[in-house]
Amino acid sequence: MVMVSVASPSPSPSPMVRSEEDLGPPWLRPLLGTSFFVPCRLHPELSKNECNLFCLGCTGDALCAYCLPAHRDHHVVQIRRSSYHNVIRVSEVGKLIDISHVQTYVINSAKIVFLNGRPQARPGKGVTNTCEICCRSLPDSFRFCSLGCKLGGMQWDPSLTFAIRPKRGQGSGDDGSGSDDDSFSPKKPRRMAGGFDLSRFERPGIRWSDDEGSRSNITPPMNRCRPSRRKGIPHRAPFYG
């Protein structure tokens, strides 16, 4: 009688568990889950009270322009909208987290990234690369279409991170190494003599649209009046017989 041992099937691989520090700064998840472009609950009687600002220090609800005096010493970023989806400028978020592998777009002469995914039911013809989370069509050089999709991909890919790696030759030490925590510490905004500096925020109620991407947001210079030249002495045309 031959005894045959049957090996138990190996368990399916489970997603890798990442610590909260590896998954980005503490304000990232609240930012991705916040509802923007809604009327402010604190200023319902005021006009242009649309909430398109977010405080990285408080990580609470979205803010409107009238809420800014209560966050004078905090780092506040502005959220914009393109095709009914929330976006943020690369110049604002790229200094705080690593946005590599996320596709960027240029709208109104500014480079932006989307906060959350935009699933596509059917990719276009000839598409060879799609977002690893929501299957949206992407160029071959990108893996994700938004910050939220990259966060989802970090659950099983240990090479992904939101921590900004210091470049060689930079950092607090002579060896060019720095702490990743420094990249998560937002700098305080500038303050004017009269209070909070609103120059880096657009007026509330302004939205972006993909249709406006071809338009230039640079105000054309005003036509300068040319100095009038002094007329010379008029001369009559010669008479011909």
Tens-place pLDDT, residues 186-240: 444 444 433 445 555 555 444 444 443 333 333 334 444 455 566 667 666 666 5
Q: Which two tokens stand for residue 178?
A: 């720095």
Instruction: Please give the distance of CA 166 from its chain centroid, rounded to a whole number.
Output: 21
pTM for this model (two decimals): 0.65
Burial per residue of 166-202, b for 16 or more beta-carbon CB atoms within 10 angstroms, e otherwise: beeeeeeeeeeebeeeebbebeebeeeeeebeeeebe
Q: What is the pLDDT along the chain (241 residues), one digit of tens a residue?
A: 545 444 445 454 455 555 565 678 999 999 999 999 999 999 999 998 999 999 999 999 999 999 999 998 999 999 999 989 999 999 999 999 999 999 999 998 999 999 999 988 776 677 889 999 999 999 888 999 999 999 999 988 999 999 887 765 555 443 333 333 333 334 444 444 334 455 555 554 444 444 433 333 333 344 444 555 666 676 666 665 5
Q: Which residues contact 52 (CB under 8 A, 6 or more apart)?
A: 36, 37, 62, 64, 78, 79, 80, 81, 204
C-alpha triplet 37, 41, 45: angle, nearest 5°: 100
Quick one: which of 163, 202, 153 has its CA closest to 28? 163
Distance (Å, rounded) from C-alpha 72 to C-alpha 64? 13
Each domain of the chain, given as residue ranges in start order, spans: 21-155
Tell me 74's DSSP state.
S
Taking every pair of Cα atoms in the chain, the longest distance, rounded to a whole number of angstroms, is 139
Distance (Å, rounded) from C-alpha 48 to C-alpha 18? 41
Distance (Å, rounded) from C-alpha 62 to C-alpha 34? 7
Residue 48 to residues 36, 87, 197: CA-CA distances in angstroms? Answer: 14, 20, 18
Element (H, E) at 30: helix 28-33
* Cβ contact 55:76 at 8 Å: yes
